[in-house]
Amino acid sequence: MLNTQSRGSFAISSTLVLLFFSTLECSTAQQFLPIDWSETKHGPDGPWNALSVQVGGMKNSTPIKLQQVQVDLYPGSHWSSFIPMNVSCETAGSTCGQGTTWSPSFDRGTEAVTTVSVSFSPYFVWNNTNTNFEGEVVAQAITLGGKTVYQADLVSFGPEGSGYGYSSSITYPNGVKTLPSLGLLALNAGPNNKDMDQQFAKSDTNSTYGSESVWIPAGYLYNQSIIPSYSYGLQMGSAALGYPGSLYLGGYDKGRVIGPYTTYGTQNPTLLDIQIGVETGGSPFSFQNKTNLLLLDNDDGGSINVEIVPHSPSLYLPVKTCEALTKVLPIYFDQVTKYYLWNTSDPNYNSTVKSASYLSFIFPPAPGASDNVTIKVPFKLLNLTLTYPIVASPVQYFPCQATVPNVDSRIVYALGRAFLQGAFVGWNTNTNIGWLAQAPGPGDSGTGLGTEGKNIANDATVIDVYDGSKSNYFAQSWAKHWEPIPSTANTAPTSAASAPASTAQQKSISTGAIAGIAIGGAVVVFALTAGLVICAMRRRRQRKTVKEIPLDERSDSPKTVDIMMESPSRLLTPPPPFTHGPHELHQGRFYQVAEMPSNREVQELHAESRSAPVNLGRRDVHELGLPPTPRI
């Protein structure tokens, strides 16, 4: 008996030990890392969502949280993350460091400080504008998603002459030049590059100090087996709609991806066309769908390669494409701001930006798929606002920037944050594969289709997504956030599908019109007949007795019969006008009525030949040869 109990206790203990180690294994397993987003809206050309991270500090006896400050950053730079410095921002004015700044410590005791200057000129520079981040590498900590990366590749930037940083600036299309208001978070080392860190000498003058590594945050997290792959999944959300962004390192949020998706690798994604459509309800345009809006500068259609650039705001498209959009949208190019502005006084403006209409981007299918991939960005997301310092007072703009590619200046066609409000982009550095797909709208809870984190395996070339071909997740996620136009309000649908409905509507109207005309005609005929009868009766009462005119039994023609009338004797004075009521005759004598001989038959005069028409509205009847009888 005791032996049996001992065996049972041993079995239970073994099970508990196994459960303990299984739990420990699960808790230390590599897993995706979601990054926090700021609640502050940013950008003089937004509003935009931004990441929220903590920067500063080193490994020492002071807790890292006490050494760091919170800053807001846009995602998307390569190699270095750029942090605005507080001293330089004090010099630059109120537009710098809207997401707060930092004061990096340059004192690390006996070790020399990394003072090597590194300049970041984005591989993308948009037309008539240039952005330059430049400063000093400060190998300090950055905490994101609750994980701290020590000796991160951070650059403290500021304007020229600040005393700490080198020259950094952004020049907007209208020529306004200022220091960038937010810095940038590096996601990787750039396309086709698997580096996770950079090596810098600790001293420019003393080589005995050696070198040190400064880490790209995602590279460090993967290197330390915190995340399963050197990858990310990004969707910008919409600050205007209170829809936060989504950035996962080592994974992605499935609730922000609607398939099918397209893929790209060593070459940037291929954009086949740009179109306009309406998801549901009526159209604010004279069409339901318009294609072939991607025009190159030679006016021909064709495809282009586009970079996906979350560090930049606009849609950087061919000049002819932006011009083509002005012909179908209530937008125009403003010569002062050098932006495409919404014509807010146009009646179609509100219906365009509030309805279920969208600008769509067409990409080729992923390998093994057959259908092109359509990514729809509702015009509600493209109704953005310019503010200070670009303009003195807010103005609504459409984020199309006419772009002329230049290899030497590294100006290329690209899709920035405006596009990523409605699109998802993911990248796996190890397999050199990128994914581009439709993103949902805010949904019921402001989280798209719901938060559902997924790992990206180190060797992943495919991802798990919601299948948009089986359910219209896109329309469902936007249902509470746009105002569809009633279908009967369509201006002039040109699609073949709408033609039968238009014909049926015309037939329905014609039938109603015929019925109305028939009823109206019957009423008119009845009124005319009644008028003629009344007229005949009144005339008969005013005449003397007239002998009957018999009809010949052998003919329908009446025989003539003599009708004798008394001879009139006329007074010298004419009758006075009527001064009494409408039915009272003047009491004085003015005519003596008599019949006179005649061989002519007495016949009624046809109604259409009377001296005045019969007015059915007032029901006045004019007798031939008598003045009209006045009515009260």
DSSP letter string, 411-457:
B--EE-HHHHTSEEEEEETTTTEEEEEEPP--TTTTSTT---EEE--
Half-sphere exposure of 111 (CA within 13 A, CB side): 13
- Residue for token pair 């003195």: 392
How far apart are the C-alpha atoms of 183 and 77, rounded to whole Å?
Answer: 9
Confidence class for position 92, pLDDT limits 50, 70, 90: very low
- Rounded CA-CA distance 429/24 in Å is 29
Q: What is the mean pLDDT of residues 448-464?
A: 97
Instruction: Give the mean model confidence (pLDDT) for residues 204-212.
Output: 74
> Distance between CA atoms of 378 and 585, rounded to whole angstroms?
81
Q: What's the rounded Cα separation, in Å, for the pair 416 and 400?
A: 10
Question: Quick one: tokens of 276?
Answer: 């306009």
pLDDT band at 626 (very low <50, low <70, confident <90, very high): very low
The gap between the terminal CA atoms of the chain, to the nearest Å, is 125
Query: What is the per-residue pLDDT for 451?
Result: 97
pLDDT at residue 105, rounded to an integer: 59
- What's the average model confidence in pLDDT over 582-611? 45
Residue 251 has pLDDT above 80, yes or no: yes
Residues 421, 46: Cα–Cα separation, whole Å: 11
pLDDT at 595 over 80: no
What is the reported pLDDT for 137?
A: 82
Given a cut of 80, whether residue 139 has pLDDT beyond it is yes
Residue 260 in contact with residue 369, Cβ under 8 Å? yes
Q: Given the DSSP bridges, would you call strands 197-201 and 211-215 parallel, antiparallel or unpaired?
A: antiparallel
Mean pLDDT of 374-396: 97
Q: Which amino acid is at 151?
A: Q
User: Which band of pLDDT confidence, cut at 50, 70 and 90, is reported for residue 406?
Assistant: confident
pLDDT at position 506 = 37
Q: Which two tokens stand for residue 330?
A: 């209530």
Which tens digit of pLDDT belongs to each residue from 468-484? 999 999 999 999 999 99
Query: Residue 223, Cβ neighbours under 10 Å: how many?
Result: 16
Whether the pLDDT of residue 130 is over 60: the answer is yes
Least confident of 24-38, 39-53, 357-371, 592-606: 592-606
Q: Using 50, 70 and 90 to split pLDDT, how confident is the model at 618?
A: very low
Are the C-beta atoms of 438 and 210 separated by less than 8 Å?
no
Averaged pLDDT, 329-353 = 97
- Binned at pLDDT 50, 70 and 90, residue 301 comes out as confident
Of 297 and 529, more confident: 297
pLDDT of residue 585: 38
For residue 324, what are its two tokens? 């083509």
CA distance readout (Å), 304 to 50, 54, 363, 415, 557: 29, 39, 10, 12, 94
Residue 18's pLDDT is 45
Pairing of the two strands 414-415 and 307-308:
parallel
DSSP 274: E
Q: What is the 3-state secondary structure (H, E, C) of 215-228?
A: ECHHHHHHHCCCCC
Are 144 and 60 in contact by the 8 Å Cβ rule? The answer is no
The mean of the pLDDT values for the chain is 77
Q: What is the mean pLDDT of residues 525-549?
A: 53
CA 561 to chain centre: 91
Average pLDDT rounded to a whole number, residues 538-557: 45
Report how far Cα 312 is from the mean position of its chain's Cα atoms.
Answer: 19
Work out the pLDDT band at 373, boundaries 50, 70, 90.
very high
Highest mean pLDDT among 138-142, 597-601, 604-608: 138-142
378, with CB counted inside 10 A (0-12, 13-18, 19+), is: buried
Supply 204's token pair: 């420019």
Alpha carbon 441 to its chain's center: 11
Tokens coding 503: 């014909």
Q: How far apart (Å, rounded) are the C-alpha atoms in residues 85 and 180?
A: 11
**Can you give the residue ranges of every domain in the chain?**
29-227
Kindly report the backbone phi and psi dihedral angles of residue 22, in degrees, each rounded to the nearest multiple of 5, phi listed first: -65, -40
- Collect contacts of 10-15 with beta carbons under 8 A, ≥24 apart: none
Please compute the mean of the pLDDT values over residues 217-242 and round it to a whole number. Answer: 98
Residue 302: pLDDT band with limits 50, 70, 90: confident
Give residue 277's pLDDT. 98
Q: How far apart are CA 595 and CA 252, in angstroms?
A: 112
At 28, the pLDDT band (50, 70, 90 cuts) reads low
pLDDT-based confidence at 521, cuts 50/70/90? low
How far apart CA 419 and CA 311 sit, in angstroms, is 12
What is the model's pLDDT at position 21? 44
Q: Where does the pLDDT of residue 98 fall: very low under 50, low under 70, confident under 90, or very high at 90 and above?
A: low
Do 179 and 89 meet the contact criterion of CB atoms below 8 Å apart?
yes
Beta strand extents in 6-106 (DSSP E only): 33-34, 51-55, 69-78, 81-84
Backbone dihedral angles phi then psi of residue 67, each to the nearest 5 degrees: -100, -10
Q: What is the pLDDT of residue 548?
A: 44
Q: Are 76 and 310 in contact (CB under 8 A)?
A: yes
- The answer to whether 340 touches 324, Cβ cutoff 8 Å, is no
Q: What is the pLDDT of residue 623?
A: 44
The Cα 236–Cα 35 span in angstroms is 12
In the predicted structure, residue 269 carries a pLDDT above the cut 60? yes
Q: Is the pLDDT of residue 279 over 50?
A: yes
Residue 42 one-letter amino acid:
H
Q: Which of 385-399, 469-483, 497-511 has the lowest mean pLDDT?
A: 497-511
Percent of the chain whose predicted confidence (pLDDT) is above 90:
52
For the cut 70, the answer to whether the pLDDT of residue 416 exceeds it is yes
- What is the distance between the alpha carbons of residues 241 and 478, in angstroms, rounded to a whole number? 11
Read off the pTM: 0.72
- For domain 29-227, the CATH class is mainly beta
The full length of the chain comes to 632
Q: What is the pLDDT of residues 154-192, one digit of tens each?
A: 988 877 655 554 678 889 999 999 888 899 999 999 888
Within 13 Å, how many C-alpha atoms sit on residue 599's CB side? 0
Nearest alpha-carbon partner for 539 in 624, 601, 598, 617: 624
- HSE at residue 79, side-chain half, CA atoms within 13 A, is 15
Minimal CA–CA distance to 185: which of 64, 43, 364, 52? 52
Residue 134, pLDDT above cutoff 50: yes
For residue 210, what pLDDT band results from cuts at 50, 70 and 90?
confident
pLDDT bracket for residue 523 (50, 70, 90): low
Question: Does position 258 have pLDDT exceeding 90, yes or no?
Answer: yes
Pairing of strands 81-84, 117-120: unpaired
pLDDT of residue 211: 77
